[in-house]
Structures are given as structure tokens and as C-alpha cells.
Copies of this chain bind each other. A is one copy, B any other.
Amino acid sequence: MAELKPFVRKINYYETDQMHIVHHSNYVRFFEEARLDIMDQYGYDYRKIEEMGIIIPVLYVKADFKKPARYGDTIEIVAKLIKIKGLKFAYSYEIYNQETKELLVTGESGHAFLDKDLKPVRLKKDYPELYEFMQMAAKDCE
């Protein structure tokens, strides 16, 4: 598989709070940006997945805030698929200050393939191509 590129973005003014740092809830949004970017790099644009009738909600998220990002900083997010089991999978995240290379935030999120009524999909039977992809991706995680 081609090498994956980290996701890079600037911090917006509206993402700060009156502590003069990024409000912590926004890092959960940055995780999502990086995760969807990685899926796109894998060839699975999430728009296509939803068009197939699948949604991928978040089952859990956790984040450790080590150092703050501030307005105007550029951050680099390294997202990795770390676990795949059946319909479930997990991503890990590391957010760096691009300039100083300091590690700012680490995190993890868990997900599942569901249909639009939030019921499990039969991935192998109904979406064999996506199933194959996940099997292949699972090997990369081992």
C-alpha cells in the first residue's frame, strides 16, 4: 500500500476559547478530519461509503492533551488504523505542532459499520469489496 501522508491544517481563530488555546472539543473534530482523509487516501472516500448505504458512527473516543495548540499554529495529524475485528475497527491519533515538532495530543477512536438505521451491516455478504479491503487492511495492523 502506498505510504500515507499525515493530515495538515491550520488552527482557526474560532477554535480558540478564552484560555487562549484551542478548545479541547475541537481535537475530536480534528481526529475526524484526519481519519476521513486517511480513508480517502485508502481509496474509500466516506461520501461513497454513505452512498452505499453504510454509516460509520463513533463508538468511543479518548484524547490526552499534553500541550496546547494556539490560533495560527499549523498542526500535523498522524492517524493510523490500529485494530479491525468483524464490523469494528479503531484508529489512533498523534497531533504535532508542525513547526516545533512537539507532540500536543494523542488519542484513539472506535467505529463500526452500520446501516442508516444504526443496525450492523453484513459486510462480507452485502459489501464484499469493502470486506476484502478491511481484511487486507487488518493484515497491515498486525
Which A positions have Cβ atoms within 8 angstroms of B? 12-14, 16-21, 23-26, 28-29, 32-33, 36, 45-47, 50, 55, 57-65, 68, 71-72, 118
Contact = CB atoms under 8 A, between A and B. Distances in A.
Given A12-B32, A16-B18, A59-B64, 12 more contacts: A12-B29, A13-B23, A13-B36, A16-B17, A21-B57, A24-B28, A24-B58, A25-B28, A25-B32, A57-B65, A60-B63, A61-B65
B12 A33 contact: yes
Q: Chain A interface mostly helix, strand, loop or mixed?
A: mixed
A4 B36 CA distance: 30
A62 to B, nearest CB: 4
Copies of this polypeptide in the complex:
4
A60 B17 CA distance: 17
A58 B62 contact: no
A68 B57 contact: yes
A60 B64 contact: yes
A86 B47 CA distance: 35
Contacts of A57: 19, 21, 24, 65, 68
Contacts of A72: 45-47
13 contacts: A13-B32, A14-B23, A14-B32, A16-B17, A16-B18, A18-B19, A18-B71, A19-B57, A25-B32, A46-B71, A58-B65, A60-B62, A68-B118
A121 to B, nearest CB: 14
